[in-house]
Amino acid sequence: MLFKQQVWLRQKLLVLGSLAVGSLLYLVARVGSLDRLQPICPIEGRFGARGQADFPLRALQFKRGLLHEFRKGNVSKEQVRLHDLVQQLPKAIIIGVRKGGTRALLEMLNLHPAVVKASQEIHFFDNDENYAKGIEWYRKKMPFSYPQQITIEKSPAYFITEEVPERIYKMNSSIKLLIIVREPTTRAISDYTQVLEGKERKNKTYYKFEKLAIDPNTCEVNTKYKAVRTSIYTKHLERWLKYFPIEQFHIVDGDRLITEPLPELQLVEKFLNLPPRISQYNLYFNVTRGFYCLRFNVIFNKCLAGSKGRIHPEVDPSVITKLRKFFHPFNQKFYQITGRTLNWP
């Protein structure tokens, strides 16, 4: 009889223990999410007269789920209208630079509850066929959002395409422009690596980087090679400055975003007049992947695609030295124009 009572008591304790653990896990999840459910502070000069009251993050989180269902066709347009959702033109654009970290920057900014990202590169301003479709076509490519949020898109080709600055100016002369850059030689090699991978996937041969970057006839840097030309940042920026003042640009250090993302993201929050919401909690280093991944809450984490962080081929050190010497005066001018000095050799 005593043995049966002990068994019964043990079973009861196991049930109570399970309930306690379950409750504890729920509270942990709840507390973790409450950190992101604090109200957003009013954002001066961006939200306008309406919506100056605090905006609940719970609604923003629900909206993200609602839009996901809408994209899958599970929510009607009437429901979206009832929730006061709209497709807005972007208030900020990541205009470049290719292989500078544009995707990482966009995904990290999307951690902020007041930011909504366009997932795909739309190529509206750099593609004549798309541009001919008109601004409403462009707007309809934007994600749904609350009026109090800001939409951001990124298309790295914008930075180097001649017609783009004027086209964006005609859409919004006060738009904020983000440029993420890496050390020019590293960026050029990364650019080459992506193209090389695409060639190898199609079983095609491709020249070595050294042969493309250095003109075999003159033994000087080949400025006709697109990967080199893209890394002359100041040449492209000067074209943009014909339309926009330097105050409307923010330079993101793409090399630092890899190793210390939070300080760079905090600078972008300030530039966009966003209340500080991205914290170290949202960023964790993935030892296996070798770079930072994103933590939206205790349940949902996200790492960038496996194609990010490709291993670069070995390049002749003398070529690297020649390229860095070539880029140096352009880098100095870039620092002078932007007011930001970066730790490039």
- Ordered by start, the domain boundaries in the chain are 75-338
161 in a known ligand binding site: no
Out of 99, 154, 176, 322, the active site residue is 99
Check residue 30 and give its pLDDT: 36
The winner for highest mean pLDDT among 50-59, 75-84, 210-219 is 210-219
Question: Token pair 């009437």 is at which residue?
Answer: 78
Q: 212 or 24, which is more confident? A: 212
How far is the C-alpha of 110 from the C-alpha of 115, rounded, in Å?
Answer: 6
Whole-angstrom CA distances from 211 to 189, 201, 214, 228, 310 are: 12, 21, 6, 12, 21
**CATH code of the region 75-338:** 3.40.50.300
How far is the C-alpha of 244 from the C-alpha of 319, rounded, in Å?
Answer: 36
Is residue 202 flagged as an active site residue? no
Check residue 278 and give its pLDDT: 95
Residue 177 in this model has a pLDDT that exceeds 90? yes
154 in a known ligand binding site: no
340 in a known ligand binding site: no
140 in a known ligand binding site: no
Check residue 61 and give its pLDDT: 54
Question: Token pair 């795909």 is at which residue?
Answer: 120
Collapse the DSSP code of 4 into the 3-class scheme (helix H, G, I; strand E, B; otherwise coil) and give the result: helix
Check residue 222 and give its pLDDT: 98
190 in a known ligand binding site: yes
Q: Which of 24-28, 78-82, 192-196 has the lowest mean pLDDT?
A: 24-28
Check residue 263 and give its pLDDT: 97
CB 288, CB 132: distance < 8 Å: no
pTM of the model: 0.80
Summarised one tens digit per residue, pLDDT across range 263-304 is: 999 999 999 999 999 999 999 888 887 889 999 887 778 888
